[in-house]
Amino acid sequence: MNAPERVERPNPIRALGLLSGGLDSTLAARLLMEQGIEVECVNFHTGFCIQSHTGAMRNPKPGAEPARHDALHAAGNLGVKLHLVDIAEDYVRIVTDPKHGYGKNLNPCLDCKIFMVHKAFEMMQTQGFHFLFTGEVLGQRPMSQRRDTFPVIDRESEAGGWLLRPLTALRMPLTEPEKLGWVDRERLMGFSGRNRKPQMALAARMGIRDYPSPAGGCCFLTDENYARKLRDLWAYRGARAYSMEDILLLKAGRHLRPAPHFKLVIGRDEAENYFLSGFVEGRTLIKARDLPGPVTLVEGTPSFEDLTLACRIAARFGKARELPEVTMTLESAGCKESRVVKPLAAHEVLEDWHV
Amino acid sequence: MSEASVDPPVADRMVDARRLLCPMPIIKVDTAMRDMSDGQTLEVRATDPGLVRDLPAWCRVNGHGYLGIRQVGRELTAWVVKGQSGEK
């Protein structure tokens, strides 16, 4: 292990934590801060963060506040600095080829945790932190927070004994900062399992009230509908690859694939229409002329006839669906054309087309 | 100041984060601020409504000044000052 050789007690002792903004990582940070340890946190952006994205793309519900970034607000409440780090490009290989496989959907939880801890370990070494911590609790998550997976995370991230899990430490072997006396083990916790009452009691003791409910997943890859759309993309491209635009577009609109070589993404409200209209490059954008209706993007290699079908489908989802014919405009690579089409009847939109 | 009030500040630099989703607008701001000097003003253009809550929080956490935000249609324009923490 590439461990820093420090045995004297540094002053201050600086710890870097992985902060999701959920209760566990917040409590872990507070436990260390209560010992006088100087804490900073990091939050990684993978491109799959569920929270806020759907909200940011749809019309707001009346009276609803915009979604907020949980880690940022948790850091604000803790009074610690937060490093927001974009790892989306590097993260592609974790999603497309996870060494430890997927969970129920396309969630590579163990590879993801190893990758994030490794990134944090690099930051620890380059930015003068003395150890790392996470809010992990033994037995809390079926795929990554287990007695047999913690040593794998420690080893494969290369963080080894420099990763402390304050909430579950009493059930784990001693880590380096505990051995060196930098952290008082007596003041750490031995939580385990899925029962969250001990965490809630600790939060109450610490006066922490403003925390998100434990939804059990803030990642699109754990979402069944999203995973299905990503699998569809891979299947019809013939490769397990994706771009940043791909993963954004999978979050918006309804997706229909009338044939293997092309797909439609149809906006469901004004906000999605606006969002989709920013992605015309490399695609064909279809709208009804002079009539209200969705923005539709066509992806793939559609023929002339395929685009006519796409226009008929798009017309079906607009206000013009009952008219005998509608003029649709098509925009692609800077060229515009119009086609007059008959909107598809409801029964002509095949169930199989929905991705 | 918070919502539209007086004239918009004169910015030293501008970041276009329109159509980007949280937290990418903040990450773009963070990256741009690294090359700026303390006291310089950055203008941020974005469309993710989360910016209204996240940008002031980010400024508070990282010790920058938050000057305020304006909304016209879907577009938000906000201003931050590097390294000038505290409520403005």
Q: Is A254 exposed, middle or buried (0-12, 13-18, 19+ CB in 10 A)?
A: middle
Residue of B30, B50, B52 with shortest CB distance to A84: B30
Q: Residue A101: which CATH number?
A: 3.40.50.620
Supply the pLDDT for residue A237. Answer: 86
Position A175 pLDDT exceeds 90: yes
B77 within domain boundaries: yes
Position B2 pLDDT exceeds 50: no
Arithmetic mean of pLDDT, A282-290: 94
Residue A185 and residue A277 in one domain: no
Element (H, E) at B41: strand B41-46
Of A219, A240, A267, the last residue of a domain is: A219
Reading the block at residue A239, the tokens are 């490769």
B53 within domain boundaries: yes
Q: Which of B9, B18, B20, B22 is catalytic?
A: B22
Residue A125 and residue A29 in one domain: yes
Of A319, A268, A323, residue with least CA distance to A296: A268
Residue of B18, B54, B74 with shortest CB distance to A69: B54
Supply the pLDDT for residue A260. Answer: 94
Q: How many domains does chain B have?
A: 1
Distance, CA of A116 to CA of A44 (rounded, Å)? 7
Q: Which residues of B touch A66 (CB under 8 A)?
A: 49-53
List, as own/partner pairs, every contact residues A166-171 make where C-beta atoms lie below 8 angstroms and the sequence separation is at least 24, other chains included: A166/A27, A166/A28, A166/A31, A166/A32, A166/A133, A166/A135, A167/A24, A167/A27, A167/A28, A167/A31, A167/A135, A167/A136, A167/A137, A167/A191, A167/A199, A168/A136, A168/A137, A168/A138, A168/A192, A171/A138
Of B63, B69, B61, B13, residue with least CA distance to A70: B61
The DSSP symbol for A301 reads: -
Arithmetic mean of pLDDT, A3-28: 86
Q: Which residues of A touch B51 (CB under 8 A)?
A: 66
In this structure, of A1-10, A190-199, A244-253, the range with the lowest mean pLDDT score is: A1-10
Residue A29 and residue A151 in one domain: yes
Position A171 pLDDT exceeds 80: yes
Q: Does A239 or A151 have the greater pLDDT score?
A: A151
Reading the block at residue A224, the tokens are 């069944």
Distances (CA, A) of B86 to A2, A122, B58: 40, 31, 12
B27 within domain boundaries: yes
B55 within domain boundaries: yes
Arithmetic mean of pLDDT, A258-265: 96
Supply the pLDDT for residue A333. Answer: 87
CA distance A67 to chain B (A): 5
User: What confidence tens digit (pLDDT) does each residue in A191-247 have?
Assistant: 999 888 999 999 999 999 888 876 555 788 888 888 999 999 999 988 888 888 888
Arithmetic mean of pLDDT, A104-110: 87
Distance, CA of A301 to CA of A291 (rounded, Å)? 27
B6 within domain boundaries: no
User: What confidence tens digit (pLDDT) does each residue in A287-333 have?
Assistant: 999 888 899 999 999 999 999 999 999 999 998 888 999 999 999 98
CA distance A203 to chain B (A): 21
Distance, CA of A53 to CA of A152 (rounded, Å)? 32
Q: Label residue A133 by pLDDT band (50, 70, 90).
A: very high
A313 within domain boundaries: yes
Distance, CA of B13 to CA of A307 (rounded, Å)? 43
Q: How many helices (H) and strands (E) does chain A have?
A: 12, 11
Q: Label residue A132 by pLDDT band (50, 70, 90).
A: very high
Task: Give bridge partners of residue B75 from the DSSP assignment.
Answer: B72
Residue A310 and residue A163 in one domain: no
Q: Label residue A65 by pLDDT band (50, 70, 90).
A: confident
Domain, as residue range, for A269: 252-353
Distance, CA of A353 to CA of A306 (rounded, Å)? 14
Of A105, A96, A109, A100, residue with least CA distance to A145: A109
Task: Give bridge partners of residue A262 from the DSSP assignment.
Answer: A259, A300
Of A219, A243, A274, the last residue of a domain is: A219
Arithmetic mean of pLDDT, B35-50: 94
B87 within domain boundaries: no
Residue A64 and residue A185 in one domain: yes
Q: How many helices (H) and strands (E) does chain B have?
A: 2, 4
Asked if A314 and A264 touch (Cβ cutoff 8 Å), the reply is: yes
Arithmetic mean of pLDDT, A141-169: 92
A160 within domain boundaries: yes
Supply the pLDDT for residue B85. Answer: 65
Size of interface A-B (CB pairs under 8 A): 75
What is this structure's pTM? 0.86
Distance, CA of B54 to CA of B63 (rounded, Å)? 14
B5 within domain boundaries: no
Asked if B77 and B43 touch (Cβ cutoff 8 Å), the reply is: yes
Arithmetic mean of pLDDT, B13-40: 93
In this structure, of A74-88, A158-172, A212-226, the range with the lowest mean pLDDT score is: A212-226
Residue A189 and residue A51 in one domain: yes
Supply the pLDDT for residue A5. Answer: 56
A295 within domain boundaries: yes
Position B55 pLDDT exceeds 90: yes
A347 within domain boundaries: yes
In this structure, of A28-37, A235-244, A282-291, the range with the lowest mean pLDDT score is: A235-244
Position A30 pLDDT exceeds 70: yes
Q: Residue B26: which CATH number?
A: 3.30.110.40
Supply the pLDDT for residue A56. Answer: 65
CB-based contact (8 Å) between B52 and chain A?
Answer: yes
Arithmetic mean of pLDDT, B71-83: 93
CA angle A188, A167, A9 (to 5 degrees): 45
Residue A165 three-state SS: coil
Residue contact A69–B30, C-beta within 8 A: no
Residue contact B19–A275, C-beta within 8 A: yes
Reading the block at residue A337, the tokens are 């054309």
Residue A33 and residue A160 in one domain: yes
B58 within domain boundaries: yes
Supply the pLDDT for residue A53. Answer: 60
Residues 6+ apart with CB under 8 A from A80: A29, A33, A39, A40, A41, B61
Q: Is A206 exposed, middle or buried (0-12, 13-18, 19+ CB in 10 A)?
A: middle
Residue contact B54–A80, C-beta within 8 A: no
Domain, as residue range, for B46: 13-81
Q: How many domains does chain A have?
A: 2
Position A95 pLDDT exceeds 60: yes
Supply the pLDDT for residue A147. Answer: 85
Mean pLDDT of chain B: 87
Residue A329 three-state SS: strand
Residue A22 and residue A108 in one domain: yes
- Which amino acid, residue A279? F
Residue of B18, B27, B49 with shortest CB distance to A60: B49
Distance, CA of A149 to CA of A151 (rounded, Å)? 6
Distance, CA of A105 to CA of A112 (rounded, Å)? 14
Reading the block at residue A111, the tokens are 């590879």
CB-based contact (8 Å) between B16 and chain A?
Answer: no
DSSP H helical segments within A44-108, as ranges?
53-57, 70-78, 88-96
SS (H, E, C) A284-299: EEEEECCCCCCCEEEE
CB-based contact (8 Å) between B70 and chain A?
Answer: no
Active site (annotated) includes residue B22: yes
Position A3 pLDDT exceeds 70: no
Question: Which percentage of chain A shows pLDDT scores above 90?
Answer: 64
